[in-house]
Every structure is written in C-alpha cells, then in structure tokens.
A and B are shown apart, each in its own frame.
Chain A
Amino acid sequence: DTAVSQTPKYLVTQMGNDKSIKCEQNLGHDTMYWYKQDSKKFLKIMFSYNNKELIINETVPNRFSPKSPDKAHLNLHINSLELGDSAVYFCASSQRTGVGETQYFGPGTRLLVL
C-alpha cells in the first residue's frame, strides 16, 4: 500500500538521451514536489505543483519539464541528459501548500548518465 511511488527505481542512460520519471501518490494530497539529491546528499527542490498548477520553479535548466496530468500524478521529463544530471530524484507530496505542511517522500529514482 505505497503512499508515494516512483518509476523507474533505477535509470541508466547515455548522455544526450531523453528520459521520463513518473510519480503517483494515493494519499489524496493536493501538492506534489520534485527534489534532486546529489552525491553529497544535498536535497534541493526543483518543482512544486498544487492541484495541477505549477507553484515553485527553482533555477532548473529548461531541459527539465514537469507535467501534472492530475493532482495524484507528477511526472518529470528530462531532455538531452548530461553527466551532471546523475543524482537521486525524489518525488514528495503534502496535504496542501503551506508553512507547516509535512512532506512525504517517494522511494527515489537513481539516475546515472554515462
């Protein structure tokens, strides 16, 4: 009974390829997020959607394009992959957008660009 799920769990690909990561939450939450965790374990937000509307777009190359078909799903498409994109990408969700909201994380997608 997974709350926040991501696919795939592992992704190994060549530089220049395009890939997508999918995220789904069954918690009934309104808000979803994408985070990137680098090799030094630094976790940084990339995007946030509230009920399918983009509300946070950090300084992320426009090769990264999020898409939320409905409030339970948030996908991340990456064009022209680069070596520096290798990281763990976490999806998260919270009940709503707000100061005190707890975020629940998915299991992560480990991306390795060769």
Chain B
Amino acid sequence: QKEVEQNSGPLSVPEGAIASLNCTYSDRGSQSFFWYRQYSGKSPELIMSIYSNGDKEDGRFTAQLNKASQYVSLLIRDSQPSDSATYLCAVNFGNEKLTFGTGTRLTIIP
C-alpha cells in the first residue's frame, strides 16, 4: 500500500514567521511530488511541484525534497493571513495517479 503521510495540524504560525509543512511517503521509487493549497470550501490549487532532490523556490514558497529519507517539505516565508488554508501533499508513485496525504491545516495568526 503506497501512502503519503502528513501531520493534520492545526499548525499555528505568527504572521511574518516561516511556516514549515512536512510530508513523508512510503515508496523510494516515487518520481514527482506536489503541494496543493485548499481554502475552506474551495478546490485544491497547485502551489509547487518538485522532481529532483534539493530545494526549489518560487516567491515566498520553497519546496524541499529528500528522496533518500522519503520526505518532502514546504516552507512559506513571511507568512501572511491569506496563507491560512489546508496544504495537501501529493505523490506520484510512478503510475498514472496522484496519491494525496490527509493535509495539514495551517493558521497564520495576525
């Protein structure tokens, strides 16, 4: 059974601080990794994708991938109240589908 695990939270972070979201997955052969953001009552929207070990930066967001340790993380710098949402980690285990984690609920405290 291929699984993706996330801490469900809630994770509370003061405005302006760095929010760190973590995700682990069960299969070393996994090839692509995605972070989606989902506001309450809305659909998931893609924040970042990462395919190679290391860091990938896009604005205030940095995705970090460590395939040897089977984890992927998302850092949000200078957190804003608008970043309050559920963050879903998704992994493609080398087949045609994405397997999602249960999501981490992030709250940014003004």
Chain A residues within CB distance 8 Å of chain B: 31, 33, 40-45, 48, 50, 55-56, 90, 97-100, 102-108
**Chain B residues in 8 Å Cβ range of A102:** 34, 46, 49
B residues sitting closer than 8 Å to A (CB atoms) are 31-32, 34, 38, 42-46, 49, 51, 86, 88, 92, 94, 96-100, 102-103
- 13 example contacts (A-B, Cβ-Cβ < 8 A) are as follows A31-B96, A40-B102, A41-B38, A42-B100, A42-B102, A43-B103, A48-B96, A56-B96, A90-B44, A102-B49, A106-B43, A107-B42, A108-B43
Are A45 and B31 in contact (CB-based, < 8 A)?
no
B94 touches A99 (CB 8 A): yes
Q: A90-B44, A105-B43 are in contact. Are A100 and B97 (CB under 8 A)?
A: no
